[in-house]
Amino acid sequence: MSENSTKRFFGTDGVRGRVGETPITPDTVLKLGWAAGRALGGQGGGKIVIGKDTRVSGYLLESALEAGLCAAGMNISLIGPMPTPGIAYLTRTARARAGIVISASHNPYYDNGIKFFLPDGSKLPDDVESQIEALMQEPIRTVPADRLGKAERFPDAPGRYIEYCKSTVPASLSLAGLTLVVDCANGAAYHVAPSVFEELGAEVVAVGTDPDGFNINENCGSTEPEYLQRLVAENGADVGIALDGDGDRVVMVDEKTQLIDGDQILYVMSGSRVDNGSMPGGVVGTVMTNLGLELACQARGIPFARAAVGDRHVHEMLRQRGWVLGGETSGHILCLEKSTTGDGIIAALDVLESMITKDQPLSALTGAMEVFPQTIINVSLKNGRQSPGESIKRTAVQDALREVERTLGTEGRVVLRPSGTEPVIRVMVEGRDQSVVASLGQHLAEAVAAVETGS
């Protein structure tokens, strides 16, 4: 079960759903704004910044949040379209009580969501989310008219964030001579990401920069990297960079048009830090991180640890261990010495810096990491179990699991877990041989499905 299974509105990353369905409705979001204003602003008021991606529903949700926050006595600074990590950064620099992001990240346009940042740019802890949910059960009590909040536009938000991204690499770094294809997914980074790379000297072919409210993540961005691979080949580019709808994830494409995922990006970033003596501790991945990254880190003497799936869990493990570098295969990369949350632009800059410093193409930087074949199968919970973990514990599934693990031996892994966001059990098998991995994954998935259907 999800760690947030006892909460009604908050999921693994804020509040998210289909627009027009609870909780992404005007009345619920109005109440959410008021409750968040009460919980995050207390009785003293203050300022909250609000940014969004490019979904058409952002206008609706922004207005509902604004009304609720004003009713709670909070002033509002409206950023407009801005990557999620940019909103985290501007929350810190504006000394705001909180930051709010209206986005459903890599989801289609008809979904949307709301997530929050504390004044330091970190995400809300569970106890604050629970406090907001408790307040949502109360009737809205508007502050006296002389204490109502006001709204204003945040001055020069894009320019401030662009300069911040550039400041995360040495002032002497030049991208001159590099041709980059930058896919902004028709999302929140459409008006900032190309400028960052251009101002550092690169020749930029920018795509996914014409949002219309409906085309966010549509056949583009980090979830559709085939588009980027084709464009890298057509333009003879050195590197391709694909962001997701809210700009906190990145995948890359090398000069040979090979896809470079989040695990490979972490390999490049950790290796560079070891080489220049700036690697505090080790790397945190998740249970789904490719075994190749773990073995590559071991070969370089870099400690490696696995957290549960989700950037919140990665962040928490980094904080506990005093490390700074971690992330997920999807391209959600945390480099905490540079940003408080995943930032696709900053992660891409980090990799480009490594290429220039070492005078090597991206394919050479990733070549020493062996990527183990993986198969991932989602098994639907057809019988509607309230506790999907029950299926995993059944004897038939455990017998199949042990059989697969024996076959793989020390050169593979199995992950069997209930999803925290969907009514499915995820089956992941990883090993050196693609055909063996696919066969074992199917065998284990069939064992889970048999339990679910009672066959």
CB neighbours of residue 213 within 10 Å: 13
* Structure token pair of residue 388: 């999907």
272 has catalytic annotation:
no
Q: Is the dihedral of CA 7, 117, 81, 352 positive or negative?
A: negative
Sheet holding 283-286, edge to edge: 304-307, 283-286, 325-327, 333-335
Tell me the C-alpha distance between 249 and 399, whole Å: 37
Residues near 285 by Cβ (< 8 Å), separated by ≥ 6? 263, 266, 293, 294, 304, 305, 306, 307, 314, 326, 327, 328, 329
Q: Which is catalytic among the residues 105, 222, 272, 391?
A: 105
- The answer to whether the beta carbons of residues 164 and 89 sit under 8 Å apart is yes
- The answer to whether the beta carbons of residues 221 and 243 sit under 8 Å apart is yes
The distance in angstroms from the start CA to the end CA of the chain is 24
What letter does residue 170 receive in the DSSP assignment?
Answer: -
- The answer to whether the beta carbons of residues 220 and 186 sit under 8 Å apart is yes
Tell me the C-alpha distance between 104 and 427, whole Å: 25
What is the SS3 assignment for 388? coil
Q: Specify the amino acid at residue 23.
A: P
**CA 176 remoteness from chain centre:** 29
Q: Compute, in degrees rounded to 10, the torsion defined by CA atoms 352, 122, 188, 8.
A: 140
**Beta strand pairing status for 325-327 and 283-286?**
parallel
CB neighbours of residue 104 within 10 Å: 27
143-168 CB burial, b ≥16 within 10 A, e <16: beeeeebebeebeebbebbbebbbeb
CB neighbours of residue 47 within 10 Å: 20
- The answer to whether the beta carbons of residues 420 and 3 sit under 8 Å apart is yes
Tell me the C-alpha distance between 384 and 389, whole Å: 12
Q: Which residues are catalytic?
A: 105
